């Protein structure tokens, strides 16, 4: 019986169809949360695709309530928005990015912190590049950070 058990353990998992893990699912550093429902709906229903996300190193650390989350700039081209913002997060985190279209008129920028934990909060600079084409919803007029109403800013 022990021999049969050892034989079963030595059979590669690929024979059982478990080799479905793909390299594109590896998350490392600040990156787009590929395949998320929010990103998929934003792209396929509203026409806005999160094309890139980058973050800076910790720019300032302190108490969480001292860090102001805000949109700093929006650069507009004929096919994209490049949005820079300050967000707060754990000093040891990287971020997984998503966007969500709220009320058919607001792009909400979402950054899920992940990784190690430390005892401090940091202000991070984060840049979202959102692409669109002629099929994109013309109703979208505002951008905000993660549903936080006091970060709402008009796209001009």
Radius of gyration of the chain (CA): 20
The pLDDT > 90 percentage for the chain reads 66
Domain boundaries, given as residue ranges, for the chain: 20-154
Question: Alpha-carbon distance 51 to 105, whole Å?
Answer: 19
The arrangement of strands across the sheet holding 48-62 comes to 48-62, 121-132, 80-90, 70-76
What average pLDDT does the structure give for the chain?
88
CA angle 75, 78, 82 (to 5 degrees): 25
pLDDT at 14: 47
Residue 108 pLDDT > 90:
yes
């Amino acid at each position: 019986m022990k021999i049969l058990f050892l034989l079963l353990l030595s059979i590669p998992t690929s024979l059982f169809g478990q080799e479905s893990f793909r390299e594109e699912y590896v998350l490392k550093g600040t990156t787009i949360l590929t395949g998320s429902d929010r990103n998929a709906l934003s792209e396929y229903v509203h026409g806005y695709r999160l094309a890139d996300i980058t973050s800076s190193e910790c720019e300032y650390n302190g108490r969480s309530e001292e860090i102001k989350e805000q949109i700093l700039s929006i650069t507009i081209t004929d096919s994209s928005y490049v949005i820079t913002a300050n967000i707060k997060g754990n000093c040891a985190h990287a971020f997984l990015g998503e966007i969500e279209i709220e009320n058919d008129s607001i792009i909400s920028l979402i950054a899920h912190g992940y990784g190690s934990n430390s005892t401090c909060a940091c202000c991070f600079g984060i840049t979202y590049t959102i692409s669109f084409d002629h099929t994109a919803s013309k109703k979208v007029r505002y951008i905000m950070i993660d549903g936080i109403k006091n970060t709402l800013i008009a796209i001009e």
